[in-house]
């Protein structure tokens, strides 16, 4: 399948949220960034690093119960190589996992514990990463709206966790442009972007190609396939027929099968899956950097062409 997803996702309230966060960030002691354990790189907001500066950050690999546990550990070790970063895996259904976050906040800002001066922690995360559910578990009460659709939280709110910690909640915030096309597909596959913002079949195709390489046995088991075909479209044909996605004329409804694949990935009916590794994303960053240089060179060439054209026009007028 030809995969050229056009993903649009920067509504006005996100731009407003970014400006508000920039304004209050100097008052914060630390940042808690909630990321999706299935896509730790793609669900990291590059604006968080720019906004937090040197402040310590706790990276919460949320939805760890849906992710490949082996790769989750690899990702945590990888993230903690970065300056000022602590990483923990979290299943919001397990209160003990969540309570560890409070303990780590106090470890990172020990000078305020027990003094009556509250630790100010800003919690950030892209839409639909599970931030609101995490906040409710941390607070021990329903203080944040939750939902399956991205971008439920629309404004900042203050939440007292205990006598030592005040949590500053922020709206789920995406960045204006995703340079790495692979990240866009992964965000779409895991539900970080509204389904109306992309071509579902393209995302399913991308997902199938990856799963056929990384988790072939899970696909075989789930869709009762003895030997996986070589292409994604052949996979949709075989799996679709096995799942009864057949229209009149004995034609397989591959779009319906695309929806099944993505929905069963999101619900972990396929199994515990992680869609990226540190090695993959490092290689992709090199490609993106090269594309950035090429784009800049083209921009400069166009500007020079315009300049020469203007000079030529002036000479002709004389």
Q: What is the pLDDT of residues 97-108, one digit of tens each?
A: 778 898 999 999
243 to 79, 158, 165, 254: CA distances (angstroms): 39, 48, 50, 11
Q: Which domains does the chain have, with CATH numbers?
A: 12-169 (3.40.50.300), 199-266 (1.10.1580.10)
Higher pLDDT, 197 or 280: 280
195: Cβ contacts below 8 Å, ≥ 6 apart: 188
Q: 44-92: per-residue pLDDT in tens? A: 888 787 888 889 999 999 999 999 999 999 999 999 999 889 999 998 7
Q: Which residues are annotated as a binding site for GTP?
A: 62-65, 128-133, 172
Residue 5 has pLDDT above 80, yes or no: no
Q: 118-167: per-residue pLDDT in tens? A: 999 999 888 788 888 888 888 887 776 554 444 444 456 788 888 789 99
Q: 247-256: per-residue pLDDT in tens? A: 989 999 999 9
Q: Which residues are annotated as a binding site?
A: 62-65, 128-133, 172
């Amino acid at each position: 399948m030809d995969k050229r997803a056009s993903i649009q996702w920067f509504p006005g309230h996100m731009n407003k949220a970014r400006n508000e966060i920039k304004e209050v960030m100097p008052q914060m002691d630390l940042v808690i960034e909630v990321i999706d354990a299935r896509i730790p790189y793609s669900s990291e907001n590059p604006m968080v690093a720019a906004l937090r500066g040197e402040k310590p950050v706790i990276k919460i690999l949320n939805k760890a119960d849906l992710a490949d546990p082996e790769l989750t550990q690899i990702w945590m070790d990888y993230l903690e190589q970065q300056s000022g970063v602590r990483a923990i895996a979290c299943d919001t259904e397990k209160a003990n996992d969540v309570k560890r976050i409070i303990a780590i906040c106090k470890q990172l800002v020990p000078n305020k514990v027990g003094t009556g001066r509250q630790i100010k922690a800003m919690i950030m995360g892209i839409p639909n990463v599970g931030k609101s559910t995490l906040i409710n578990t941390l607070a021990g009460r329903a203080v944040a709206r939750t939902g399956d659709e991205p971008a439920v939280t629309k404004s900042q709110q203050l939440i007292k966790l205990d006598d030592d910690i005040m949590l500053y909640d922020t709206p789920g915030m995406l960045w204006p442009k995703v340079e790495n096309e692979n990240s866009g597909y992964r965000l779409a596959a895991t539900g970080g972007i509204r389904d109306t913002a992309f071509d579902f079949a393209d995302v399913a195709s991308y997902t199938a190609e990856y799963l056929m390489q990384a988790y072939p046995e899970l696909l075989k088991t789930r869709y009762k396939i003895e030997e996986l075909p070589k292409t994604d479209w052949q996979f949709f044909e075989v799996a679709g027929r096995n799942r009864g996605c057949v229209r009149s004329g004995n034609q397989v409804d591959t779009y319906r099968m695309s929806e099944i694949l993505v929905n069963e990935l999101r619900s972990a009916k396929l199994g515990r899956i992680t869609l990226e590794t540190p090695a993959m994303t490092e290689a992709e960053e090199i490609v993106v950097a090269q594309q950035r240089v090429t784009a800049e060179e083209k921009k400069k060439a166009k500007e020079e062409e315009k300049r020469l054209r203007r000079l030529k026009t002036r000479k002709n007028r004389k």
